[in-house]
Structure 1
Amino acid sequence: MEPLYLARESRVHRLSPEVKIAAVLLFTIVVVVTPREDLTAFAGYTLLIALVAGLARVPAGWLLKRATIELPFVLLAVVLPFTGHGERVDWLGLSLSVDGLYGAWNIFAKGTLGVLASLLLAATTSMRDLILGLDRLRCPTVITQIMTFMLRYIDVLIDDARRMRIARLSRGYDPRFLWQVKAFAVGVGALFLRSYERGERVYLAMLSRGYSGRMPSGSGSKAPAAEWVVSSALPVAAAGIAVAAAVLA
């Protein structure tokens, strides 16, 4: 079950996962280090995201709907113009802090671009390929292995939780109120114990089959140089936009 992956036939989908991860990471770094006053640079970054989304055949509505995950941070940013210090301006009878306005814009612009870039990566790369790409980028082995097991057993845990809920309902007990939270807590505890015991059994089974601390490497060759060149277009273009905005400012 991969709710964020969109199976499409596009050049972006066909790129090796490690080059896409590196491109998104470098693009995000460029966005983060861009001064918040360079408004034209952020407009350019938005155009780059739109161009990549078009090449990847990812609908704009799909991106915008899932980008609402950043709403709590946007709500926090709305407060800054009213609570900031320093120079103030009047707008529609409201006294707003200039530094607070820039701070709110900084959170909104950089957060939105980071979320959109991450969503594009998730939409064009399956979870298995993401883990494989991280492994090829020399991400610590313990992290990639934890992610691999999480991907493998998350559906098992969800199915266990579903069966436990069905068992409660079949016995006429469906806790819905705060004073009935004990049943839910007991269920979570039982699910944790089941998961822990299953993990111990799986680990022993792996040791008996020669596990030495590293999972077998995935199939497929590493990304060719041409793909690195293609993927570098995104961060290089972003860096060019940042430099041009700084020169013209």
Structure 2
Amino acid sequence: MHRLAPEVKILATLLFTVVVVATPREELWAFGGYAVLLAAVAGAAGVPMKWLARRASIELPFVLLAVALPFAGHGERVGWLGMSLSVDGLYGAWNIVAKGTLGVVASLLLAASTTMRDLIVGLDRLRCPAVFTQIATFMLRYLDILADDARRMRIARLSRGYDPRFLWQVKAFAVSVGSLFLRAYERGERVYLAMVSRGYDGRLPRPEAGGATAAQWAQSAVLPAAAAAIAMTAVLR
């Protein structure tokens, strides 16, 4: 997993997610099959389940939204523990939780086995728009610098005895954000002019070697192919 070229992992993750989203929500067993596939990938990549579970908590707001659907849905209703629940709402909640969780876990497995730099290289090899990959490259390169600028500005504010903590003191925070934006904009202008003076023609240099081999494409196709087989079985049975 870690040695595969980034473009094959990105495409495999995308195709797997498309198959999961296209699966009818009533085919409950199919989602169990997808979960088994992801567990196998996690085992092959050596990614701990605890690590995945902790970071998958990012979807909790959507899960909380899904909890309300059985109560707010219309149509046929069923009783459970003295509560009247909508059948369509139950399926809707299951649809959000199951597909959202599988998509988040698949993305986490991609992030766990691929560095940020390799992700950008993979997107570039997949002919992702150059503007997008260049913005992502500069964001990755200068994010630490901007965070350091923000930290210094906060220290300067604290050293002057001003530490806004309440809503009516939000002006100081807004001024800091505006100042940070101006610094980032000016730095971007200087970097762009320096790049143009060195022959920049609208595209960053690309690595010449290191593309995916046929064997790597075949290995990466196992996950989406297995997911497609489960989806076809669910639809045709």
Give the TM-score band, short-chain normalised: over 0.9
Q: Which runs of 5+ in 2 are unaligned?
A: none
Equivalent in the alignment of 1:39? 28
Q: What's the TM-score, normalizing by structure 2?
A: 0.98
Give the Å deviation of 1:225.
0.5
Aligned counterpart for 1:241 among listed residues 224, 230, 237: 230
Paired residue secondary structure (2:2): helix
Aligned counterpart for 2:44 among listed residues 49, 52, 55: 55
Equivalent in the alignment of 2:70? 81
- 2:212 maps to a residue whose letter is A
Aligned counterpart for 1:24 among listed residues 13, 27, 42: 13
Hey, what's the Cα distance between the residues in 1 that align with 2:45 and 2:65?
A: 32
Equivalent in the alignment of 2:217? 228
Hey, what's the Cα distance between the residues in 2 that align with 1:98 and 1:182?
A: 49
Equivalent in the alignment of 2:128? 139
Matched, 1:181 2:170: yes
- 1:53 maps to a residue whose letter is A
TM alignment of 1:111-190, pairs within 5 A: 111-190=100-179
Q: Where has structure 1 moved over 6 Å in runs of 4 or more?
A: none
Equivalent in the alignment of 1:106? 95
Hey, what's the Cα distance between the residues in 2 that align with 1:16 and 1:202?
A: 30
Hey, what's the Cα distance between the residues in 2 that align with 1:247 and 1:82?
A: 32
Give the Å deviation of 1:247.
3.4
The one-character-per-residue Cα deviations of 1:32-53 (angstroms, maximum 9, x if unpaired) are: 0000001110000000010000
Hey, what's the Cα distance between the residues in 2 that align with 1:141 and 1:184?
A: 34
The one-character-per-residue Cα deviations of 1:191-235 (angstroms, maximum 9, x if unpaired) are: 000000000000000000000000000353210010000000000
- 1:36 maps to a residue whose letter is R
Q: Give the RMSD, CA atoms, in angstroms.
A: 0.8
TM alignment of 1:199-218, pairs within 5 A: 199-218=188-207
The one-character-per-residue Cα deviations of 1:48-96 (angstroms, maximum 9, x if unpaired) are: 0100000000000000000010011101110100011110000011000
Hey, what's the Cα distance between the residues in 2 that align with 1:157 and 1:118?
A: 26
Give the Å deviation of 1:171.
1.3
Paired residue secondary structure (1:131): helix
Equivalent in the alignment of 1:92? 81
